[in-house]
Amino acid sequence: MSAFPDPEVVRRAAAEAGQDQVFRFWPRLAQAERRALAAQVAAIDFPLVNRLARELVTGPAARKAAPAGRVEPPVVFGMPRTGAERALFREARDRGESLLRAGRVAAFLVAGGQGTRLGFDGPKGCFPIEPAAGRTLFHLFAARIAALGKTYRRPVPLLVMTSEENHDATLRFWADQRYFGLPPWNLSFFRQDMLPAVDDAGKIILESPGRVHTSPNGHGGSLSALAKSGALADLMRGGFEELFYFQVDNPLAEVCDPLFIGMHALAGADMSTKVVKKTDPAERVGALARMDTVPTVIEYSELGEDRSRLRAPDGSLLYCAGNAAIHMLRVEFVHRVTSDPAFALPYHVAKKQCPAVNDLDPAAPPLATAGYKFEMFVFDALRHARATTALEIDRAEEFAPVKNATGVDSPATARAALAARERRRAAAAVAAAGAASGAPAGPA
């Protein structure tokens, strides 16, 4: 059997799908370019792409609908106030620690995104974020994983999801950094799937005469990527029960926080979420809510201005549980959903600038054109969970995402948050040492 798909078969499939414009430069392509294009197009799921284009771009229902269903605020564990709540938190932390000591928890970092808003040349994880020492995002997470291994005397495996766009660069970076001292056998890197972007007419965009423009299929692609890559099977073979999911852009993420692990485990939850309190209703972060009693994250744009401004009698915002994009996932849950042929997360569409071949001068650099990218979101898996929990965290301690090059959620704000946390921790350590020695805390 040939390792290359038959170009004629692939061209016929594209033509049948109404997408044969991807072959419009075929006559001028060199042999190697033809092979590459045929292989790339052969991997496209045309029925899926055409359905998404119809439903989300060209069709009459393509405009974003308001959530259909009864929307209510979520149930969230806030900071403990009563003795019973404090006891529950203690029990949860103990449970989380015992799972870590027993080697039942793995860390799962999703780093397949394009990071277009940050505009950094390279995988976002290679961005130097630490204020003084300049350690990168990857380095900070690796240091945390190493520290966990020491504390609990059990190494915590780290799974890193990349995408075709940044996989090689990510691997090179980790290898160049000698895996930051972590044992390579405890690390696993795998790619998520890619999807083509389409134009206003639902036609797949070519970025060059011999290449379709694709983008990663969203962080929701992480569940199927775990299964397809074999990482999930490895976890199950190794006796791992829980996955701590976090995103590469939050340097404050308290990776494998035992309290969160324990709350999730005590509740027998399939999937759990950390939330930060939204103080400004206009903050552009998805809100955890319940839709017809089922936990769900509603995007800022879908929640609507009126609902996002609703307040409880005590004046607090009703929909204030901002999704911090930190989750616990039960390994068995990921296995259950990904082995169900009927399981699918919904796709969302984003209109973004895409590189498109210049038809008048195909050899010239691509032009920027408006295109539509399709993505799945991991939080949509919440509705498949039989049980869930949500834990409110202190934003100053655990949440400072790096999204934009400047302004809000930028390296500047994340560095300020890291520095402030460092100062608080140093002060707390001094105070604790003072208390232990009986000396008064603070400067002499």
Residues found near ligand UTP in the complex (CB under 6 A):
110-117, 124, 161, 192, 216-219, 221, 247-249, 375, 403
Closer residue to ligand UTP in complex, CB, 196/210: 196
Nearest distance in Å: CB 302, ligand UTP: 16
Closer residue to ligand UTP in complex, CB, 265/393: 393
Nearest distance in Å: CB 376, ligand UTP: 8
- 3-class DSSP string for 106-123: EEEEECCCCCCCCCCCCC
Closer residue to ligand UTP in complex, CB, 95/219: 219
> Which residue is at the shortest CB distance from ligand UTP?
113
Largest Cα span, the chain = 83
DSSP class of residue 343? -
Closer residue to ligand UTP in complex, CB, 109/289: 109
Closer residue to ligand UTP in complex, CB, 38/44: 44
Q: Using CA atoms, how far apart are residues 2 and 21, in angstroms rounded to an integer?
A: 25
Closer residue to ligand UTP in complex, CB, 278/403: 403
CB 245 within 8 A of CB 326: yes
Tell me the backbone φ, ψ of residue 295, rounded to 5 degrees. Answer: -60, 140
Token pair for 340: 């169900």
Helices 7-16 and 46-53 cross at an angle (nearest 10°) of: 30
375 beta partners: 348
Nearest distance in Å: CB 223, ligand UTP: 12
Nearest distance in Å: CB 58, ligand UTP: 23
Of 442, 386, 27, 353, give the one whose Cα is nearest residue 210.
Answer: 27
Tell me the backbone φ, ψ of residue 109, rounded to 5 degrees. Answer: -100, 120
Closer residue to ligand UTP in complex, CB, 408/439: 408
Closer residue to ligand UTP in complex, CB, 110/331: 110
Angstrom CA distances, 39 to 212, 419, 432, 439, stand at: 11, 48, 61, 71
